[in-house]
Structure 1
Amino acid sequence: MRTRPRRLAVMGFALLTALSTTASLPSAAADGPGRPENHPHGGGLSATIRYTEYGIPHIVAKDYADLGFGTGWAQAADQVCALADGFVTVRGERSRYFGPDAAPDGSLSSATKNVSSDLYFRGVREAGTVEKLLATPAPAGPGREVKETMRGFAAGYNAWLKQNEITDPACKGADWVRPVTPLDVATHGFALAVLGGQGRGVDGITSAQPPAAGAPARAGSPDKAEVAAGARKLFSAEDADMGSNAVAFSGAATANGRGLLLGNPHYPWQGGRRFWQSQQTIPGELNVSGGSLLGSSTISIGHNAHIAWSHTVATGVTLNLHQLTLDPADPTSYLVDGRPERMTKRTVTVAVKDGAPVTRTQWWTRYGPVVNGLGPSLPLPWTSTTAYALGDPNALNLRASDTALGFSKARSTDDVLNTLRRTQGLPWVNTIAADSAGHSLFTQSQVIPRITDDLAARCSTPLGKVTYPAAGVAVLDGSRGDCALGSDKDAVQPGIFGPSKMPVLKDAPYAENSNDSAWLANADRPLTGYERVFGTVGTQRSMRTRGGVEDVAAMARKGGLTVSDLQRQQFADRAPAGDLAAADVARACAALPGGTATGGDGKPVDVRQACDVIGKWDHSMKTSSRGALLFDRFWRKLTAAVPNDKLWKVPFSATDPVRTPNTLNTDAPGFATALADAVGELRSAGIGLDDPLGDHQFVVRGGERLPVHGGTESLGVWNKVETVWDAKAGGYTEVVHGSSYIQAVGWDGGRCPVARTLLTYSQSPNPNSPHYSDQTRLFSKGAWVTSRFCEKDILASPALKVVRVHD
């Protein structure tokens, strides 16, 4: 029964190999023009890579190891320095090469210094954490196909290093660019999995030390308001460096009854958490196109001939804390049901550049590592009576690539759901999908600790009674055995929720998420009944969620949608905050006595021109928009100074969650000051109040200014960009994070999907690469790449270059 498909697969691969002998080849990695290749690999790994416009590789291989090889080779060609930096991180060698006190880029943990990053990752390596996960049989551990792609990825990366000269000045000639192992690749995946758990607590894990003998217990209780605010800040979408929008439309809303998907992840523009675009093909077995997070051997967000999917960062809290009651005689022993248990010591030594090695002990418990804080916003002091252990179920999860591979093979949204039920590998994202049969899907299927509301009610400590309602962060009584997380029958590992507990919305006319909870994935079909740890119900939505729901609900009501409608939505650049508040600002501004307002420095500022400019602003963040920059600077200052509950006259109502709160409170203390300071700031920088946004929101690539459209989180712009303000340099001069790998996908009944994509920051950060800024120029103009998915389209590319890579 399996002979014919396999035979066709081999025939297809042979055909593509033959093609590689006649197409034009890139000079750096191929035979001379027009000459047949003669590279027998003697049983080694190999792949064929066809490059089309914008340096997008279409990787063809005969099996999963070869597919990983081609992926590792092609990623290294574009991103060798970022990849090498990540591998230095997961080997715990940053201090050795870059010094202990420098800060890593934050791609793989929240560590503030190299030394804390190294102590954590060296500890992971020495404890054999990832090796144990690799040895765990599926479904709890990764499957064979994924492990083969990891093996191939390492070999492909190494082969590129051996066969090519690095031209990127970020690491050219650097001694820290070294060959890697499959374990390095797997550990990189582990680091991504624990980003929201142990990765968030790296500083606290590596610096937590028991109090000195005889040290007094800390007196008093923490201030509840401060703790609640700290927990909310820790898990706030506005403070995060990752977010996303995505919407799936069912056939009920489309022109042809087939599904549509628009994915718009907001990720860092620099460093190791960038996306990289490719197509992966094993003829007869796999054919998928999309964006991969760097270091990943599978497609993270993408589409095939039948389905398209995207992810949004979810509100589910991926960690919990257990408050430990310590043995009065020994602060490194804790009590469980009255019996002492000794903590496990993990003593780690890391090499340091130009200095003595650093040795430090970490302390681990049955619940996880002891942690003395989760960043500055949530300190967790270790006293003579109390300590806190960090629980992270994703420290047992190396299954994300299995989930991605399952999506890549899926033919329907039901297949996507079945993949999630089988693999349970997504640590911190929701999934939104659409298929060619007209189905839509939203699901918050993620690996989070099994904190039921009942468990939190029974077992929360006084601290947990504050943090759990405020932010979903459970702090449980670690001295009670009945406060363990327990198990669901359908969960692949203990201590997590099974698939039957996940919020799911199927076949709604639209299913949308912009990093709020699952509640309003469709405002007409709200999702309820899930535990608080997944997110909230009946609470105020972000400005971006409100604007997104307004937009996509209107699109669905209109119906007849096509991929072109998705493209218009992506770059409409509407600022919902402007629609809600700009008219009120203009009126209040015009009513100021004498047309002046007092700035924060106590000096009066003439704001009469600002009133007119804001009144005429088109409420968009297009590069041509006049008044956008003024309102943006004013709005940032206002929302920083005025609490949300004082900002609006009409408060939030759960019965009207999209339209409330509304009506700006222009009488709020700080309104006039914010206006005066914004006007004064722009004038001092020599920026006209009505200058086009693109004159002062830009990136510089190759010495050229490229205007950037889009806006910040607080304005609610779908096309989100978070930028760096530098008044001396002329405004917003770089994008820190925001729209990244964008895809608008549909089907027209033919064999090929209708797909438009864009990688906003381009394929390579190497300024010497031809693909350093080509897609960034497209983004600046609001243009797209027409996806070349089917063979006829790939072979018709005027930029086609084919290369056969081997080890």
Structure 2
Amino acid sequence: MKLLKRAGLVFLVFLAVIATGLMIWEPLGVSPETPPPSRDYEARIVRDNFGVPHIFGKTDADVAYGVAYAHAEDDFATLQEVTAMTRGRLATLNGADAAPVDYVAALLDVGGTVERQYDGLPANVRGVLDGYASGLNAYADEHPEEISLSKLFPVNGRDIAAGFVLRSPFFFGLNTPIQALIENRPLRREGGPSLSAPVENRTVHPLSEDKIVTPVGSDPDENGSNGYALAPKLSVEGKTRLISNSHQPLRGNVAWYELVVHSDEGWDFAGANFPGSPFPFLGHNKHLGWTNTVNRPDLIDIYKLTLNEKGTAYRFDGEWLPLGKKHIWLKIKYGPFVIPYPKMVYRSVHGPVIRNDSGAYALRYAGMDQLDMLTQYYRINKARDFSEWQAAMAGQGVPATNFIYADAKGNIGMFYNAMFPDRSPGFDWRTVLPGDNSKALWQNTLPFTRVPALINPASGYVMNANNTPYIAAGPGNELKRDTFSPLMGIEDDQTNRSRRSIQLLEAAIAADGRISDAEIRRIKYDTAYVRAGYAKDWMDKIAALDLKDHPQLAKVQALLAKWDWNLDGKGAADTLALMVLRPANKAHYQRGKVPDPKVILQETVDHLNKYFGKIDPPMLDVLRLRQGEVDLPIDGGNDTIRASTLWDVDDDGRLSVRHGDSYIMFVEWDKTGKVSSRSIQPFGSATTRPDSPHYTDQMKLFVDKKLKPVWFDPKLLEKNKASEKTVRSIRK
């Protein structure tokens, strides 16, 4: 996305500077925020032998204080970026490339949402947010030399809430219509079944490589994850199992951070969060656990507004309503200076408005202008049984993402969680809607009882791998499509990972009626493709190419014809398959245009010849996991269960994985209900601290597909602790 980077931008910016004399040092125009209410906090941070912090406190707020402090010890740089992002100052910290994030924060009125909704949060939730903010402030006060942006601290609970508001809608793809509208490009068709005959503006268009910079750190259309829950009947020992395999960027503001929390108020949880959150987003407590996978139902609607001649009002139900507008300044770092760049953001009764050469378009999306996700995460963290957990989920604060659930009682479930708009029939909700008709403007969302859910199926398992919820538990155990209204926009997509997961789970059950621990481990680390769906169609296109006039491409074609459909790094064609399948999966997952296979073959050959001198280098020489001085081979691909989803091309031509398998956790409850778990991260607990022993200490285990213990029981932690400290904030 070339927002704020179009031709002439720098010239216009400096012209404005010269004309107005606004070349300033940015800190002069920034006022520090009000700190949280003063109170005493005390937390004990115990680190195990892998540096994972276990935070203990008398109250939940004490624990949140310790969570922030411990995370700052490991990754204060990223926490500062998240803080700057929530303040609309990311471009001040990181320059012009980050300006779109500041623009989006203003467009979505993040600050307004917090102002309107924050005081309505439960007092204990606000207490946890303030405790977390106080922990960040304490670390910043004690380490002023690490602060990268003046007047960024102190922060308060409202700042923490703002981070949730800004990032949440981008997990279900709000970046896509924003990007298309700003660039005045056709909107792609939303997911879910068609509701009428095709129309021109529903044509699927490929997205450019130049993505809008999103607050989630990566394009949601590239995200993935796998999740499995297995009932006791599938275990010889009668245990319940949960496998969490989220696919996130390995670095940045949505990279997983592992932690364990223990509060005397009953908050006991092991799992992982994102920078800027006091709550783990997935993992387990003593009684239950869950993991998440990205889902993509149609939760976004676009409205074409009819403006008056002056562009100051829009027509709505026969009346003219004033178009809300607000003048903002994007403060963009250029060298030692910060340049204020003017923008206007607009709003209608529908939501934020983007104006382009084709007109004015309003967006309405799930979870808009609400903070209930904070309450929901807090309550599911502390839920003690399935009923409490479902009651917390029914609060519907989290706008999207699947939840794969398991508990000590042997319950399992797959919830296609989403805040489905309560849409009226009579409109094609997959396309641009009329902005002048109130009947097209939904006001409420469907209750949690309408969410597609599969609980305790006869198959004994549930799974999701970013696929339609209608495929979740094997043949004969699936949800029925006709049970759900097409107005909900439920996706029909399948992935290789979903097809392969069902195939492997069903085969294991068919063999002896059980799935052993070794088998479920093999399934999670599987690197194969099913010869079906987009992958087969794409490989068939390659096989059908007439390459008689291109001898080297013909050799590639012949090698791929013999490929064993497994990216385990053992086959001669694995590198070729890894690279040529990536564009096909991207087009499939983005519901976009399939590229020219001949062009992809040529680009792949050119790259391999340039850097490796041949077309068939061993895949494990090409695909690497790299951090600091550690450089290791890794297997898997962009849509294999063992996921190496995205990579950077390094100077030596090798592909350095930056997205895919990230935080992995295996949880089980035995017959007595006792919980235990194992986990692994790609690098270590201190991903931005090269001097830390935990900068790369998990990498070898990660590439070798091994796990480490999670010392959830404090008694076991005492035997495996590496350090301990107490952090306090005394009321002034």
**TM-score between the two structures when normalised by the length of structure 2:** 0.81
Superposition map of 1:34-49 within 5 A: 44-49=40-45
Change (3 A) 1:522 1:187: same
Return the offset for 1:536.
4.3
Does residue 309 of the first structure (1) align with residue 258 of the second (2)?
Answer: no
Determine the structure 1 residue equivalent to 2:54. 58
Give yes or no for contact 1:424–1:447 (8 Å, CA) kept in 2: yes
Aligned to 1:705: 631
Cα displacement (A) at 1:564:
3.9
Q: In the alignment, which of 103, 107, 112 is matched to residue 97 of structure 2?
A: 103
Question: What's the counterpart of residue 126 of structure 2?
Answer: 147
Contact 1:51 1:57 in 2 (8 A): yes
Q: Is 2:668–2:677's contact at 8 Å kept on the other side of the alignment? A: yes
Pairs within 5 Å for 1:121-270: 123-125=109-111, 128-136=112-120, 142-164=121-143, 175=150, 178-195=153-170, 196=172, 224=199, 227-230=202-205, 240-270=221-251
Residue 14 of structure 2 corresponds to which residue in structure 1?
none
How far the C-alpha of 1:787 sits from its partner, in A, is 1.4
1:630 and 2:576 are equivalent in the alignment: yes
Q: Which residue of 1 aligns with 2:381?
A: 408
2:502 match: secondary structure: helix
1:657 aligns with none
Distance of aligned partners of 1:51 and 1:229 in 2 relative to their CA distance in 1, 3 Å threshold: same
Where 1:309 maps in the other structure, the secondary structure is: strand
Query: Contact 1:258–1:439 at 8 Å: present in 2 too?
Result: no
Deviations 1:266-289 (A, max 9, x none): 111221111111111113612110
Pair 534,783 (structure 1): closer, same or farther in 2 beyond 3 Å:
farther
Report the secondary structure of 1:334's partner residue.
strand
Equivalences for residues 495-534 of structure 1 within 5 A: 495-508=444-457, 509-524=460-475, 525-527=477-479, 528=481, 529-532=483-486, 534=488
Structure 1 position 499, deviation (Å): 1.1
Letter in 2 for 1:555: A
Q: For residues 395-418 of structure 1, what are the alpha-carbon distances to aligned partners after superposition, in whole Å with 9 as ceiling and x for unaligned?
A: 232122322222222333343222
Among residues 342, 345, 350, which one is paired with 1:362 in the alignment? Answer: 345
430-439 or 753-762: bigger deviation = 753-762
Please tell me the residue identity of whatever aligns with 1:526.
E
Aligned-partner Cα distance in 1 for 2:366–2:537 = 48
Q: How many residues align?
A: 661
Are 2:90 and 1:94 aligned? yes
Secondary structure of the corresponding residue to residue 404 of structure 1: helix
The 1-side partners of 2:651 and 2:91 are apart by: 34
What's 1:23 paired with?
A: none
Distance 1:522 1:584, change over 3 A: same
Q: Of the candidates 483, 489, 504, which is equivalent to residue 440 of structure 2?
A: 483
Q: CA separation of 1:295/1:201 partners in 2, compared to 1, >3 Å: closer, same or farther?
A: farther
Q: Secondary structure at the match of 2:565?
A: coil
The one of 685, 703, 706 equivalent to 1:780 is: 703
Distance 1:425 1:555, change over 3 A: farther
Q: Which residue of 1 aligns with 2:103?
A: 116
Once the two structures are aligned, what percentage of the paired residues are identical? 22
2:505 and 2:407 mapped to 1: Cα distance? 18
Does the 8 Å CA contact 1:198/1:390 hold for their aligned counterparts?
no
List runs of 5+ in structure 1 lacking aligned partners: 1-41, 105-111, 137-141, 209-222, 373-379, 487-494, 648-667
Query: Structure 1, residues 144-202: CA drift from partner, whole Å, max 9, x if none?
Result: 22211110001111111222476xxxx67654763322221111111122324766666
Find out whether 1:75 has 2:71 as its counterpart: yes
Provide the C-alpha distance between the structure 1 equivalents of 2:539 and 2:348, rounded to a whole number of angstroms: 55
| 1:510-531 C-alpha deviation (Å, 9 max, x unpaired) | 2111112211122322222223
RMSD: 3.8
In structure 2, the residue matched to 1:30 is: none
1:560 matched to 2:533:
no
User: Taking structure 1 as reference, are residues 239 and 68 closer, same or farther at Cα in structure 2, changes over 3 Å only?
Assistant: closer
Structure 1 residue aligned with 2:405, among 415, 428, 433?
A: 433
One-letter code of the match for 2:136? Y
User: Which amino acid is 1:420 matched to?
Assistant: M
Aligned residue number for residue 793 of structure 1: 716
1:430 maps to a residue whose letter is N
2:417 is the counterpart of 1:445:
yes
2:33 counterpart residue number: none
Q: Does 1:571 align with 2:525?
A: yes
Q: Contact 1:318–1:448 at 8 Å: present in 2 too? A: yes
Alpha-carbon contact 1:614-1:631 (below 8 Å) kept: no
- Give the Å deviation of 1:750: 5.0
Task: Classify the secondary structure of the residue corresponding to 1:565.
Answer: helix
Partner of 2:81: 85
Question: Paired residue for 1:653?
Answer: none
Distance 1:322 1:46, change over 3 A: same
> What are the Cα deviations for residues 348-407 of structure 1, in whole angstroms up to 9, with x where unaligned?
2344443553333322111111124xxxxxxx6553xxx321112412321223222222
Question: Residue 110 of structure 2 aligns to which amino acid in structure 1?
Answer: V
The answer to whether structure 1 residue 737 and structure 2 residue 663 are counterparts is: no
- CA distance in structure 1 between the partners assigned to 2:231 and 2:629 by the alignment: 44
Question: Alpha carbons of 1:332 and 1:582: their partners in 2 closer, same or farther (altered >3 Å)?
Answer: closer
Aligned residue for 1:335?
315
Amino acid across the alignment from 1:344: G
Q: 1:389 aligns with which of 362, 368, 371?
A: 362
Distance 2:267 2:542 in 1: 60
User: What is the CA–CA distance in structure 2 between the aligned matches of 1:70 and 1:478, rounded to whole Å?
Assistant: 48
User: Tell me, what secondary structure is at the counterpart of 1:76?
Assistant: helix
Q: Shift of residue 133 of structure 1? A: 1.0
Match of 2:27 in 1: none
Deviations along 1:715-774, one digit per CA (max 9) or x if unpaired, are xx0122223363861431x22311111111112235642312112243222222222222
| CA distance in 2: counterparts of 1:365 and 1:89, whole angstroms | 25
Give the counterpart letter for 1:480 in structure 2: N
Report if aligned partners of 1:205, 1:362 keep a CA contact under 8 Å in 2. no
Unaligned runs of 5+ in 2: 1-37, 185-197, 213-217
Query: 1:502 corresponds to which letter in structure 2?
Result: V
- 8 Å CA contact 2:93–2:149 kept in 1: the answer is no
Larger Rg: 1
CA contact (8 A) 1:563 1:744 kept: no
Q: Which amino acid aligns with 2:409?
A: A
Residues 620-664 of structure 1: per-residue CA shift (max 9 Å, x gap): 32345543112223434677899999x9xxxxxxxxxxxxxxxxx
User: 1:572 and 1:690 mapped to 2: Cα distance?
Assistant: 22
Paired position in structure 2 for 1:762: 684
Q: Match of 1:333, as an amino acid?
A: A
- Over 3 Å counting, the alpha-carbon distance change for 1:238 and 1:520 in structure 2 is farther
Q: Report if the CA contact (8 A) 1:320-1:449 is conserved.
A: no
Distance 1:644 1:343 in 2: 33
1:45 Cα deviation after fit: 0.6
> How big is the shift at 1:705?
1.3
Structure 2 CA distance for partners of 1:785 and 1:474, relative to 1, 3 Å: farther
Give, in whole Å, the separation in 1 of the partners of 2:323 and 2:533.
56
Structure 1 counterpart of 2:621: 695
Mapped to 2, the partners of 1:271 and 1:669 lie a distance apart of 30
Mapped to 1, the partners of 2:281 and 2:589 lie a distance apart of 37
Write the letter of the residue equivalent to 1:413: F
